[in-house]
Structure 1
């Protein structure tokens, strides 16, 4: 007979106070980043310049914090950088699409415009990820609610000339590119030898050179030059630079907050918090940016948030049902579905 195996000691669950403070910190960083970005874009519509400045601030903060904690290494072989190029490109395209979408629609309907993110993510996961994730019927019902909220909200906004066709197309494109980014991240989480922090830092560093050719291609080069020429910088330019710097800080804090929230909350809580954050974000956009709230927008937001919460609850309920009962012997599952669920949750960190 073999030696008896030690019984694992389960760590105590986090206190309600810790969970509440972590959720508040995460939601505050996410909302602050969106509102500041929209405020800057309302003054000067320069999405590429805004993202370039945000990324530069994040690289400085990640480098300082990562070296202090020992979580990142500055010296990596060329093969390691080259291996992360697909992830960098996917993240860059995703964040560009999100920012252009934010520039074209009101912040209060930003979540509605990107309402196809969940359906696209589910579809691409089924097509690309192996083993294929399983989605319970209730989770698919939640996905259908999200799609209904998007269609109803965008149709009403377009009919009332509150959102342009360009905004709707950018919303769909942003949802698709973010879903592709999410699937790419999940694949890298399972195959890359780099740690999460190292991947975030390296992808941000690699993204910086891409902004140099994007500035003239987007027609923002002259505006960017004027902003950094202190003798010609206008009041609006100074406000744009200040907002861009603050969004870089908030994005850095958001990454830390995402790690913390993953640690102390379940996937269901994460989805519900994300839904509630959308309501708070829309409310602040109405109050601070003077945007309009219509009955159609409120109804669409309710469908999207309710569907997201139902999806998260159904997935979590299915995961709990697959856990072995206490004291019962269970073989290790070959499909590693639990690992896949963990990858899906951690995938949000790199967005």
Structure 2
């Protein structure tokens, strides 16, 4: 006789808070380091190949020692994680190419369509289908306005190229897909979180082998490793790439942890909110310029994200029965777990 699966209790607020803070710190550190490396040598695929290789080494060492990773898995297990691997690979490629084409201080503005795209994909993919109150849709509209105004101002002032704008849109879409796909795999895959991260990164390394020559970076990569690079930042690129490998390792773990304890939309809101700290560090560390238009756009994006989150939380609170009121048992409706989870 089959027993129904036991539902996991929702994570505590402390766990959610600590996970979100850990993810934000890793993401900001990784972005600043990656942009510093790309400022020296424009080789995004080489940077990602090095990052992923270091991640595999760290994951294998730590996972084998702790017993969290099994090195021998059946072919069916690897094949089942192929969609997850491709979604994550395309997502990180789009983010890195976008970062290479825009300033780190405007990176979050360029990816400002992450909220509306995530909402749309969640409606199409996730079950049960989430509900969005009208006020949350107004917040979404603010975010879209911030993206449009910021990108238009940067493009007009020739601070960001058309390529950077397109890559920002593409990066928003692929990151939204990655978030939703990871959420679905965490709920249905029989593999643990560490096992999924390790297996997807191992497969990603194999994908980088043909991507290096296809991207035209193979000669640049060889010159860097053989010490023939004429680039002034060749050695710095290699050293920084090693550091980004460690930061990417921490960020990968943090991303899976955050998506596991939050909803895709909450994950996206945190991604937008950390843009303020990231922009500030880019100005201080990388010497980038902060314009009034960028400040206004960032304010619209953050304000819209906050309005969306507040509206969703208010809707979830209204779904619960008010304390002190006695309702007939026949009129009592069960709580919607998806709404409660979405409000975190």
Q: Could you state the TM-score of these two structures normalised by the residue count of structure 2? A: 0.85
- SS of 2:274's equivalent in the other structure is helix
Partners in 2 of 1:270 and 1:84 — Cα distance? 21
Shift of 1:246: 0.8
User: Cα 1:198–1:341, aligned 2, differ >3 Å: closer, same or farther?
Assistant: farther
Partner in structure 2 of residue 119 of structure 1: 116
- SS of 1:163's equivalent in the other structure is coil
Which residue of 171, 184, 195 corresponds with 1:187?
A: 184
Partners in 2 of 1:268 and 1:185 — Cα distance? 13
Partners in 1 of 2:288 and 2:114 — Cα distance? 23
Is 1:169 aligned to residue 166 of structure 2? Answer: yes
Alignment check: 8 A CA contact 1:267 1:316 kept: no
- SS of 1:205's equivalent in the other structure is helix
Partners in 2 of 1:177 and 1:79 — Cα distance? 25
Partner in structure 2 of residue 57 of structure 1: 54
Partners in 1 of 2:263 and 2:127 — Cα distance? 23
Is 1:243 aligned to residue 244 of structure 2? Answer: no
Shift of 1:64: 1.8
Alignment check: 8 A CA contact 1:146 1:303 kept: yes
Shift of 1:318: 2.7
Is 1:29 aligned to residue 30 of structure 2? Answer: no
Is 1:202 aligned to residue 205 of structure 2? Answer: no
Matches within 5 A, 1:85-164: 85-164=82-161
Q: 5+ residue gaps in structure 1? A: 1-8, 346-351
Partners in 1 of 2:21 and 2:188 — Cα distance? 32
Shift of 1:140: 1.2
- SS of 1:280's equivalent in the other structure is helix
Shift of 1:71: 2.0
Name whichever of 304-313 and 76-85 sits farther off: 304-313
Name whichever of 228-237 and 140-149 sits farther off: 228-237
Alignment check: 8 A CA contact 2:265 2:342 kept: no
Q: 5+ residue gaps in structure 2? A: 1-8
- SS of 1:75's equivalent in the other structure is coil
Shift of 1:69: 2.6
Partners in 2 of 1:110 and 1:220 — Cα distance? 23
> Aligned pair count?
332
Alignment check: 8 A CA contact 1:267 1:312 kept: no
Partners in 1 of 2:238 and 2:108 — Cα distance? 25
Q: Could you state the TM-score of these two structures normalised by the residue count of structure 1? A: 0.84
Partner in structure 1 of residue 290 of structure 2: 293
Alignment check: 8 A CA contact 2:114 2:268 kept: no
Is 1:302 aligned to residue 299 of structure 2? Answer: yes
Cα distance per residue 1:141-187 (max 9 Å; x no partner): 11111100000000111111111111101111111111122222222
Partners in 2 of 1:126 and 1:166 — Cα distance? 29
Partners in 2 of 1:213 and 1:184 — Cα distance? 24
Partners in 1 of 2:321 and 2:69 — Cα distance? 37
Shift of 1:138: 2.0
Name whichever of 277-286 and 310-319 sits farther off: 310-319
User: Cα 1:268–1:216, aligned 2, differ >3 Å: closer, same or farther?
Assistant: closer
Alignment check: 8 A CA contact 1:139 1:311 kept: yes
Partners in 1 of 2:148 and 2:279 — Cα distance? 18
Alignment check: 8 A CA contact 2:269 2:309 kept: yes
Name whichever of 227-236 and 204-213 sits farther off: 227-236
Partner in structure 2 of residue 316 of structure 1: 313
Name whichever of 282-291 and 45-54 sits farther off: 282-291
Partners in 2 of 1:238 and 1:211 — Cα distance? 21
User: Cα 1:198–1:10, aligned 2, differ >3 Å: closer, same or farther?
Assistant: closer
Shift of 1:68: 2.6
Alignment check: 8 A CA contact 1:275 1:309 kept: no
Partner in structure 2 of residue 348 of structure 1: none
Shift of 1:227: 1.4
Partners in 2 of 1:128 and 1:252 — Cα distance? 28
